[in-house]
Amino acid sequence: MNRTILLIDMNSYFASVEQKCNPVLQGKPVVVCGYGRTIVVTASYEAREYGIKTGMTIPEAKKLCPNVIIVYGNIDKYIDTTLKIHQILLRFTDRVEPFSIDECFMDVTDVEKLFGDGLTIAKKIKQLIKEELGLNCSIGIGENKIIAKFASKLKKPDGLCKIEKEDIKNIFSLLSVRELQGIGIGKKIAEKLESIGILTAQQLGDANLDFLIKHFGILGYHLKKIGQGVDDSPVKIYDDKNYIKSFGHSHTLPTDTYDLNIIKSYILLMSEKVGVRLRKENMLGRTVSLMIRYEDFDSFSKQYTIKHYIRTGYEIYKIAEKIFNQILPLKKAVRLVGVSISNLIQDNKQPFLFNRLQKYYQLADMVDSINSKYGEFTVKPASLIIAEKFGILERCGIIGTSLIKK
Amino acid sequence: MITEINQHIKAGVVFDNNNVKPKWFIWNNRKYIIKKITYTWKTNQGEAILIHFSVTDGATLFELCMNQKNLEWTLEKVSTE
């Protein structure tokens, strides 16, 4: 059966929210960046006309547009707005799957009889988001997620584009593999495909499977399907937790540092935040990943899987610390610290054999109970004070999609 | 330019159809009449829900915050051109 999948993509999201908050910014070149830091997180469309892009430094942006207005981001504002957008989408169907803070898939196949075809529903969604939140979005429509996502990129801002099944082959014959970036193919994969002579989406779809597997391993199956515009993955139901694969938090330090006490304090802070979310979702994990970004934006990332499942910040920290010790002594100052946990299962609250562990986990639950009543980190490990004194930027963390659902 | 203030204020509020709309506030002995609420959003602080308002008196943009638990109002930020 043919599906109708929508991808809703908010245009220049953070900058648009700030322009809505402060009407004086409307129509002006605006960039949103982290407090005290100098990387452009989002640029308004007016700023983009000057060539300003995400990832650029503020000095670079100012060279291109001396009048650019810099706004420090407020992630709480954007999360709340995202949740409001989800509530609008849920008026049509419960098959709403957040893809990122500013993108969402919808499967409207089963509700077309109620609300009209995909185009009608998409127009209504655009109208509601504009009326209720004052924001623009681009919507792509296709028979699967890959096509819908690709369609959403074709007309920006405030676009609406549907790609029919019969047009997929023609369109993909003209697409370069670089244009598939963001639709299941990253920059490095696109570069590697070009290096082995696969330049277009059609060539990717027609490529010999054994050849792709030889160069990309098991990813080769997935890449071939992308090249053919084939994607059978369903759009999950909004409250479905089954797809949560990991929880992670990262934080950009107020200034780059070599100080190990400070860096370890931040690793503990991130580990504690991950532990809180893990327990909130009633889950356990056993693969801990640590990411360190240096002052020159070079990164180190490694993961470690243990034999048993864990759920507390301290347990996560001990593994992250073990990974961190492997890169000592530091050759460059550290700019960002990130910790995540994956390999997740539901916590069925099985009693422990050893009383000490049982009490330790009960303590974590009690701390959660106090902090949920009085505020995050009302009760916290003492060594977090080191990070607090160094400086916690207004909001810390990468937001996993599980956090941007009510 | 944005200046962090974070001071308690007195606010005059209208409750309208499950919505809270600040109409004026007093800060440093001066009364500010709110001409427009440009944006609202919510955050949590423990059990307390905080409602944030971006408002303007026509000249200056203010960020106000109402703590739903204790009904306290705070002027969080002031933005001037």
| Per-residue pLDDT tens over the stretch A311-334 | 899 999 999 999 999 999 999 999
B43 touches chain A (CB under 8 A): yes
The pLDDT, as a whole number, for residue A306 is: 92
ipTM for the complex shown: 0.92
Share of chain A above pLDDT 70, in %: 91
Q: Tell me the C-alpha distance between A155 and A153, whole Å.
A: 6
Answer whether residue A297 shows pLDDT above 90: no
- Asked which of A47-51, A75-79, B11-15 is least confident by mean pLDDT, the reply is A75-79
Domains of chain A: 7-137 (3.40.1170.60), 167-228 (1.10.150.20), 240-398 (3.30.1490.100)
Q: What is the DSSP letter of A12?
A: T
Question: Which residue in the set B41, B45, B56 is minimally distant from A375, CB to CB?
Answer: B45
Answer whether residue A353 shows pLDDT above 80: no
* Interface with chain B: mutation pick from A16, A77, A81, A372, highest number of B CBs within 10 Å: A77
Q: Closest chain B residue to A133 measured between Cα atoms?
A: B39
Q: What is the mean predicted confidence (pLDDT) over A329-350?
A: 88
Q: State pLDDT tens for residues A182-236.
A: 777 888 888 999 999 999 888 999 999 999 999 999 889 989 998 988 888 899 8
Q: What is the mean predicted confidence (pLDDT) over A45-58?
A: 92
Q: Could you tell me the two tokens for A247?
A: 């929880």
Answer whether residue A122 shows pLDDT above 80: yes
Q: Closest chain B residue to A76 measured between Cα atoms?
A: B43
* Interface with chain B: mutation pick from A20, A21, A28, A372, highest number of B CBs within 10 Å: A21
The pLDDT, as a whole number, for residue A264 is: 93
Q: What is the mean pLDDT of chain A?
A: 87
The pLDDT, as a whole number, for residue A186 is: 82
B19 touches chain A (CB under 8 A): no
Which residues in chain A touch residue B36, judged by CB atoms under 8 angstroms apart?
A: 23
Torsion of CA A23, A27, A28, A31, to 10 degrees: 80
The pLDDT, as a whole number, for residue A403 is: 44
A80 touches chain B (CB under 8 A): yes
| Confidence tier at A83 by pLDDT (50, 70, 90) | very high
The pLDDT, as a whole number, for residue A323 is: 95
Give all strands (DSSP E) within A215-370, no chain letters.
246-257, 283-294, 299-310, 334-346
Answer whether residue A291 shows pLDDT above 50: yes
The pLDDT, as a whole number, for residue A249 is: 87
Cβ of B43 within 8 Å of Cβ of A24? The answer is: no
| Confidence tier at A250 by pLDDT (50, 70, 90) | confident
Which residues in chain A touch residue B60, judged by CB atoms under 8 angstroms apart?
A: none
Work out how many CB contacts closer than 8 A connect A with B.
39
| Confidence tier at A366 by pLDDT (50, 70, 90) | confident
Burial A125-158 (b: 16+ CB within 10 A, else e): bbeebeeebbbbbbbbbbbbbbbbbbbbbeebee
Cβ of A375 within 8 Å of Cβ of B2? The answer is: no
Which residues in chain A touch residue B46, judged by CB atoms under 8 angstroms apart?
A: 371-376, 378
| Confidence tier at A385 by pLDDT (50, 70, 90) | confident
Answer whether residue A393 shows pLDDT above 70: no
The pLDDT, as a whole number, for residue A50 is: 95
B41 touches chain A (CB under 8 A): yes
A164 touches chain B (CB under 8 A): no
B56 touches chain A (CB under 8 A): yes
Answer whether residue A395 shows pLDDT above 70: no
| Confidence tier at A402 by pLDDT (50, 70, 90) | very low
Total-model pTM: 0.79
Answer whether residue A346 shows pLDDT above 90: no
Answer whether residue A397 shows pLDDT above 60: no
Distances (CA, A) of A48 to A26, A31, A56, A185: 14, 9, 11, 24
Answer whether residue A101 shows pLDDT above 70: yes
| Confidence tier at A406 by pLDDT (50, 70, 90) | very low
Cβ of A375 within 8 Å of Cβ of B61? The answer is: no
The pLDDT, as a whole number, for residue A6 is: 97
Report the catalytic residues of A: 103
B58 touches chain A (CB under 8 A): no
Closest to A112 (Cα-Cα) out of A162, A146, A183, A158:
A162
Answer whether residue A370 shows pLDDT above 70: yes
